[in-house]
């Protein structure tokens, strides 16, 4: 009977990617003699990690998943990364969901220990790839599994770009993931994003209001389109001390793509978010109603969302041509949610009740969740959302209750 496979740290710290670690280099050279393309696939993985080296949290997440995949392929299956198809990756997922006990530890330890005298790194004997956090048995949530597959999907896409493989098994598994083919637990958290019915009803209501009361709700239509399609924080599109978003926040990039610039976000960093065509149509409709040109000019000083009534307090009391504040935006969203809930009350009372409990942040959550579900790479969603690392997105990769219901086998009483 063969000995159980031991896993080792295979990928160095970001600052050591260019030179590598001696024991890892020796291990890869030895594996290259028995596993096809071991050295070349490892070289590609190092190159992919190098592309993500300047975001420490992303680097750590990607390195962890690549370390698992390469260890499993090389030491458990004795196969090349090029051989990993949908069937093999399914086995890898099952392995990660129920790992061997000798690969599970009760605490998280660093990959390496340093020999300061010789200035070399060695594998940390306490390190193991799986960490038991609740003290009973190792389990993974669906969100964790989806995050893993999303990260690996990015790597397989890179391998395809490098013409090393022509398939993306992680993307296929991610699309086909359901409660019947996965040994994981579900998160008990309540829903934070609007359902498909809720969002469609809200958008229909917004368009109805924009048509019947354009003097008030052309602005509402742009607001909801912006919150859903670009999913900014409400503080990033509202007036606040030191910042007033303007129409000129929409900028035409030299590539021809329109972007929305947020100069300062929660993490203190600025970002530019590409604008879909649907959003630009809403922007042009609103600007035409205001008597402006279709598209903003550079340095245009028109507020993004112009008040309909003059301010009643603060520095902008009595001023009409000013940007909406956070509370005003929350009030608009609350009003639309409530009027939509009124429409849904008879046909979908539970959806209506839930909609009344949602907030403006629910639109951000809905935008991120649907963007991930549509297949947008996590790195792109992270940049658009202004998150500092990929792990933050795990809260948005929630279980689809409708999919869960469809996948449940009906039984007779």
Share of the chain above pLDDT 90, in %: 55
Position 370 pLDDT exceeds 70: yes
Q: Taking residues 286-303, what's their average pLDDT? A: 92
Dihedral-angle region of residue 291 (phi above 0 means left; psi in -120 to 50 means alpha; beta otherwise): left
Position 374 pLDDT exceeds 90: no
- pLDDT value, residue 68: 97
Q: Taking residues 141-162, what's their average pLDDT? A: 89
Confidence of residue 390 (pLDDT cuts 50, 70, 90): low
Q: Taking residues 221-228, what's their average pLDDT? A: 96
Cβ(155)–Cβ(45) below 8 Å: yes
- The tens digit of pLDDT for each residue in 264-293 reads 665 557 889 999 999 999 999 999 999 999
- For β-strands 104-105 and 130-131, DSSP reports them as parallel
Residues pairing with 251 in the sheet: 259
Confidence of residue 409 (pLDDT cuts 50, 70, 90): very low
Confidence of residue 310 (pLDDT cuts 50, 70, 90): very low
State which H helix or E strand residue 258 sits in: strand 258-262
- The tens digit of pLDDT for each residue in 29-63 reads 999 999 999 999 999 999 999 998 888 878 999 99
**Mean pLDDT across the chain:** 85
Cβ(271)–Cβ(386) below 8 Å: yes
Q: Taking residues 120-132, what's their average pLDDT? A: 90
- pLDDT value, residue 164: 94
The whole-model pTM stands at 0.58
| 8-state DSSP, 237 | S
Q: Which of 302, 148, 326, 150 is nearest to 236 (CA)?
A: 326
- pLDDT value, residue 118: 75
């Amino acid at each position: 009977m063969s000995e159980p496979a031991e896993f080792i740290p295979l990928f160095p710290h970001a600052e050591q990617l260019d030179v590598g670690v001696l024991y890892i280099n020796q291990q890869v050279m030895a594996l290259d003699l028995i596993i096809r393309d071991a050295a070349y696939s490892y070289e590609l993985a190092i190159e992919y990690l190098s592309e993500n080296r300047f975001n420490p949290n992303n680097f750590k997440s990607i390195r962890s998943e690549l370390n698992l995949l390469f260890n499993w392929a090389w030491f458990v299956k004795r196969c090349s990364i090029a051989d990993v198809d949908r069937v093999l990756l399914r086995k890898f997922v099952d392995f990660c969901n129920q790992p061997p006990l000798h690969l599970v530890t009760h605490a998280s330890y660093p990959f390496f220990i340093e020999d300061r005298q010789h200035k070399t790194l060695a594998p940390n004997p306490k390190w193991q790839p799986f960490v038991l956090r609740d003290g009973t048995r190792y389990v993974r949530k669906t969100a964790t599994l989806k995050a893993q597959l999303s990260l690996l999907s990015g790597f397989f896409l890179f391998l395809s770009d490098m013409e090393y493989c022509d398939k993306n098994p992680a993307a296929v598994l991610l699309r086909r993931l359901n409660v019947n083919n996965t040994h994981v637990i579900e998160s008990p958290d309540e829903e934070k994003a609007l359902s498909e019915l809720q969002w469609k009803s809200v958008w229909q209501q917004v368009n109805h209001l924009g048509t019947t009361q354009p003097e008030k709700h052309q602005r509402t239509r742009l607001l909801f389109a912006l919150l859903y399609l670009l999913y900014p924080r409400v503080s990033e599109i509202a007036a606040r001390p030191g910042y007033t978003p303007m129409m000129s926040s929409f900028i035409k990039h030299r590539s021809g793509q329109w972007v929305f610039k947020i100069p300062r976000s929660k993490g203190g960093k600025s970002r530019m978010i590409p604008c879909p065509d649907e959003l630009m149509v809403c922007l042009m409709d609103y600007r035409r109603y205001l008597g402006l040109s279709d598209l903003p000019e550079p340095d245009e000083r028109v507020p993004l969302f112009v008040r309909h009534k003059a301010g009643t307090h603060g520095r902008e009391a009595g001023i009409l041509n000013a940007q909406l504040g956070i509370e005003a935006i929350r009030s608009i969203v609350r009003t639309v949610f409530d009027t939509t809930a009124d429409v849904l009350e008879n046909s979908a009372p539970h959806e209506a009740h839930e909609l009344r409990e949602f907030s403006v942040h629910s639109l951000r959550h809905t935008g991120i969740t649907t963007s991930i579900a549509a297949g947008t790479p996590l790195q792109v969603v992270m940049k658009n959302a202004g998150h500092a690392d990929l792990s933050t997105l795990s809260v948005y990769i929630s279980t689809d209750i409708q999919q869960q219901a469809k996948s449940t086998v009906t039984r007779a009483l």
